[in-house]
Amino acid sequence: MLLQFIIGSVVITFSVIIEVLFVFIAVQKMSKFGDTKVFSSNLLAMMFYLAGITLWLLLAFSIVSWLWAHTLLSLGAFETTEEAVYFSMVAFTSLGFGDVVLDKQWRMLSGLIAANGLLLFGLNTAVLVETLRQVLLAMSDRKIT
């Protein structure tokens, strides 16, 4: 059990570093574009900006999900990449279908994967809310066409 917590803690640490890196880059883009023509142009440009930040953060989720899948494969918890990726995505999103489960030897990791997902979803939600706030503020400050 202790080994599972150690492995899970290491993977969570790396996943948080990855996510924070992606968030940092997104925040840099927000501050850069906040002072440029993106927010003074048109509604379509703002929509692409918001969609771009959303897809960027989704890419970070995908990378973290693959990190968990690789960890599970390395531990021998699954035989196929598809199974490991599927499980990590289902656990990471706290969906938990239960059709693919970890053996007793590694089942504590599923809770750690879910906790990791909840934390990162919260972080990304904050970034997206701030992005949307900036877009709406720019729309109210300027006449958008």
Q: Compute the distance between CA of residue 145 and CA of residue 143 in angstroms, rounded to an integer.
A: 7
Q: Greatest CA separation found in the chain?
A: 60
Closest CA to 115 of 17, 10, 20, 8: 8
Whole-model pTM above 0.75? yes
Contact 106, 8 (CB under 8 A): no
Q: Compute the distance between CA of residue 73 and CA of residue 37 in angstroms, rounded to an integer.
A: 46
In order of 78, 82, 131, 143, the CA distances from 138 in angstroms are 48, 43, 11, 9
pLDDT tens string for the chain (145 positions)? 899 999 999 999 999 999 999 999 988 877 776 555 555 556 787 788 889 999 999 999 999 999 999 999 999 999 999 999 999 999 999 888 888 999 999 999 999 999 999 999 999 999 999 888 877 887 776 655 4
